[in-house]
């Protein structure tokens, strides 16, 4: 079973689009066209590329937590939601819905968000941004049979950037990343855990299929949008 919980959350075509987008960002970072955005986030271009590559590649890996009872699981299907096509993995002799944590969509964003909160001492503002985005995402989140919880991809991006800029111009970029990634995780996945067992999903991955694309794109695009309006690199609290 452990080998079957690891799978691409998107179809190869959509995953390739994200990979091409990432390659384009890497080229722009190397050309220093986008260096300002990640300097405002508080990391260098090398760390930014490692963060992006880690998130994309880590989307393949899920860490199982427990097994939820429920109806017979679906297998080897493609489910479409808001124009995005998600993969239901091929499984055999499955005990129920495996609740897991996605490395690229949950573990890495959580570690990065924690680092940014501590580095810039954004405890209150980060909590406020996360709570506000979580409410917005929760209102949009939709249970999708075979997949779990899915959210529209681009809707939260502008709202995240604007909210972060309103809360703090100097720290708009870190707040955009924290609010966009953590707000999506909490609003879409954690607040809907009670709905997962009845969807027949073989793997319900926190930060995985249904939310990974939103977390990946919201984190990147919100930082870029916020970075345009923020001043020079924010000063660390330590």
Can you say how many angstroms the Cα of residue 185 is from the centroid of all Cα atoms in its chain?
A: 7
Structural domain span for residue 127: 2-229
C-alpha to C-alpha distance for 104 and 144, rounded to whole angstroms: 21
Q: Which residue has the higher pLDDT, 219 or 208?
A: 208
Choice between 47 and 10, residue whose per-residue pLDDT is larger: 47
CB 73 within 8 A of CB 198: no
Instruction: Identify the CA nearest to 181 among candidates 234, 134, 124, 230.
Output: 134
Question: Has residue 48 got a pLDDT over 80?
Answer: no
Q: Is residue 237 part of a domain?
A: no
pTM over 0.75: yes
Q: Looking at residue 83, what is its pLDDT?
A: 55
Residue 43: CB partners within 8 Å, gap ≥ 6?
51
Q: Is residue 234 part of a domain?
A: no
In a domain, 159, yes or no: yes
**Cα 30 off chain centre by:** 24
Pairing of strands 97-102, 203-206: parallel
| Domain count within the chain | 1
Residue 236 lies in a domain: no
Q: Residue 237: is its pLDDT beyond 70? A: no
Residue 61 vs residue 157, higher pLDDT:
61
In a domain, 42, yes or no: yes
**CA–CA gap between residue 91 and residue 171 (Å, rounded):** 45
* Residue 199 counted as domain residue: yes
Quickly state the pLDDT bin for 212 (edges 50, 70, 90): confident
Lookup: tokens for 209: 């299929």
């Amino acid at each position: 079973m452990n080998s079957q919980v690891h799978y691409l959350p998107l179809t190869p075509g959509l995953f390739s689009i994200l990979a091409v987008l990432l390659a384009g960002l890497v080229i722009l970072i190397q050309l220093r066209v986008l260096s300002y955005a990640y300097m405002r986030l508080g990391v260098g271009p090398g760390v930014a590329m490692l963060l992006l590559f880690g998130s994309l590649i880590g989307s393949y890996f899920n860490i199982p937590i427990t097994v939820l009872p429920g109806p017979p699981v679906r297998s080897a299907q493609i489910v479409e939601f808001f124009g995005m096509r998600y993969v239901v993995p091929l499984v055999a002799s499955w005990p129920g819905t495996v609740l897991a944590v996605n490395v690229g969509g949950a573990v890495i964003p959580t570690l990065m968000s924690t680092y940014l909160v501590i580095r810039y001492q954004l405890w209150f503002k980060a909590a406020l941004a996360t709570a506000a985005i979580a409410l917005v995402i929760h209102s949009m989140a939709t249970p999708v049979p075979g997949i779990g919880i899915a959210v529209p991809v681009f809707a939260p991006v502008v709202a995240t950037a604007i909210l972060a800029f309103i809360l703090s111009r100097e720290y708009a970029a870190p707040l955009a990343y924290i609010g966009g990634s953590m707000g999506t995780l909490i609003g879409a996945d954690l607040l809907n855990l009670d709905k997962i067992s009845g969807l027949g999903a073989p793997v319900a991955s926190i930060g995985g299929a249904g939310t990974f694309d939103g977390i990946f794109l919201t984190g990147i695009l919100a930082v870029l949008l916020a970075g345009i309006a923020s001043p020079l690199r924010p000063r660390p609290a330590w």
